[in-house]
Amino acid sequence: MPLTCNIDPIAHADHTDITQGLSQNPASISPKYFYDQQGSRLFEAITQLPEYYPTRTENALMQQHASDIARSVGTGRTLIELGAGSCQKARTLCQLVQPACFVGVDISADYLQDAVAALSDDLPWLDARAVGGDMTQGVQLPADIPRTGRLVFYPGSSIGNFDPPHALALLAHMRELIDDDGGLLIGIDLPKDVTVLEAAYDDAAGVTAEFNRNVLRHVNRLIGSDFDVDQWQHRAFFNADASRIEMHLEALANAQVRWPGGGRAFEQGERIHTENSYKYPLPVFTDMLARAGFAQAEAWTDERGWFAVVHARP
Ligand SMILES: C[S@@+](CC[C@H](N)C(=O)[O-])C[C@H]1O[C@@H](n2cnc3c(N)ncnc32)[C@H](O)[C@@H]1O
Cβ–ligand 1 contact at 132 (below 6 Å): no
pLDDT at position 3 over 50: no
Q: Verify that 178 and 251 share a domain, yes or no.
A: no
Residues 118 and 182 in one domain: yes
Is the residue at 9 inside a domain?
no
Answer whether residue 41 is part of any domain. Answer: no
**How far, in Å, from the CA of 106 to the mean position of ligand 1?**
6
pLDDT the model gives residue 125: 96
Q: Is 189 in the pocket of ligand 1 (CB under 6 A)?
A: no
pLDDT at 44: 98
pLDDT (tens digit per residue) in 208-219: 999 999 999 999
Q: Quick one: 304 and 161 in the same domain?
A: yes
Whether residue 110 lies inside any domain: the answer is yes
- 3-state SS string for 247-283: EEEEECCCEEEEECCEEEEECCCCEEEEEEEECCCHH
The residue to mutate among 106, 113, 174, having the most atoms of ligand 1 within 8 angstroms of its beta carbon, is 106
Kindly give the distance from the C-alpha atom of residue 113 to the centroid of ligand 1, in angstroms, as a whole number: 14
Does residue 198 sit within a domain? yes
Indicate which residue's Cα is closest to atom 8 of ligand 1.
156
- Average pLDDT of the chain to the nearest whole number: 95
Closest alpha carbon to 213 in 198, 232, 199: 232
> Is 9 touching ligand 1 by the criterion CB < 6 Å?
no
Residue-level pLDDT at 114: 97
Residues 30 and 174 in one domain: no
Q: What is the C-alpha separation between 39 and 24, in angstroms, rounded? A: 24
Checking if the pLDDT of 7 tops 50, the result is no
199 and 250 belong to one structural domain? yes
Any domain includes 78: yes
Flag whether pLDDT at 48 surpasses 80.
Answer: yes
Predicted TM-score of the model (pTM): 0.96
89 Cβ inside 6 Å of ligand 1 = yes
- The answer on 215 and 179 residing in a single domain is no
Mutate to test the pocket of ligand 1, among 5, 43, 309 (most ligand atoms within 8 A of CB): 43
Q: Does 59 sit in the ligand 1 pocket, CB within 6 Å?
A: no
Residue 147: which domain range?
53-192+279-313
- 298 and 255 in a common domain: no
Q: Whose CA is nearest to atom 14 of ligand 1?
A: 83
Domain count within the chain: 2
Distance of alpha carbon 245 from alpha carbon 160, whole angstroms: 9
Is the beta carbon of 108 within 6 A of some atom in ligand 1? yes
10 Å Cβ neighbour count for 239?
11
CA of 221 to the centre of ligand 1 (A): 20
pLDDT, tens digit, for every residue of 236-261? 999 999 999 999 999 999 999 999 99
Residues 109 and 140 placed together within one structural domain of the fold:
yes
pLDDT at position 1: 42
3-state secondary structure of 231: helix
Largest Cα separation within the chain, whole Å, is: 57
In this structure, the answer to whether residues 100 and 230 fall within a common structural domain is no
13 band by pLDDT with thresholds 50, 70 and 90: low
The mean per-residue pLDDT over the stretch 54-63 comes to 98
118 shares its domain with 253: no
Q: What percent of the chain stands above pLDDT 70?
A: 96
Residue-wise pLDDT tens digits, 163-204: 999 999 999 999 999 999 999 999 999 999 999 999 999 999
Answer yes or no: is 220 within a domain: yes
DSSP letter assigned to residue 234 = E
Residue 12 pLDDT > 50, yes or no?
A: no
Quote the distance between the C-alpha of residue 59 and its chain's center.
Answer: 16
Q: Is the CB of 54 under 6 A from ligand 1?
A: no
For residue 7, being part of any structural domain is answered with no
Least confident of 8-22, 45-59, 96-110: 8-22
Give the CATH number of the domain where residue 117 resides.
3.40.50.150
Q: Whose CA is nearest to atom 6 of ligand 1?
A: 84
Of 107, 114, 162, 188, the one to substitute when testing ligand 1's pocket (max ligand atoms within 8 A of C-beta) is 107
pLDDT digits (tens, 9 = 90+) for 112-129: 999 999 999 999 999 999
202, 180: one domain:
no
- The CA 82 to ligand 1 mean position distance, Å, reads 7
In this prediction, residue 290 carries a pLDDT of 98
User: Is-contact 310 280, C-beta < 8 A?
Assistant: no
Indicate whether 301 pLDDT > 70.
yes
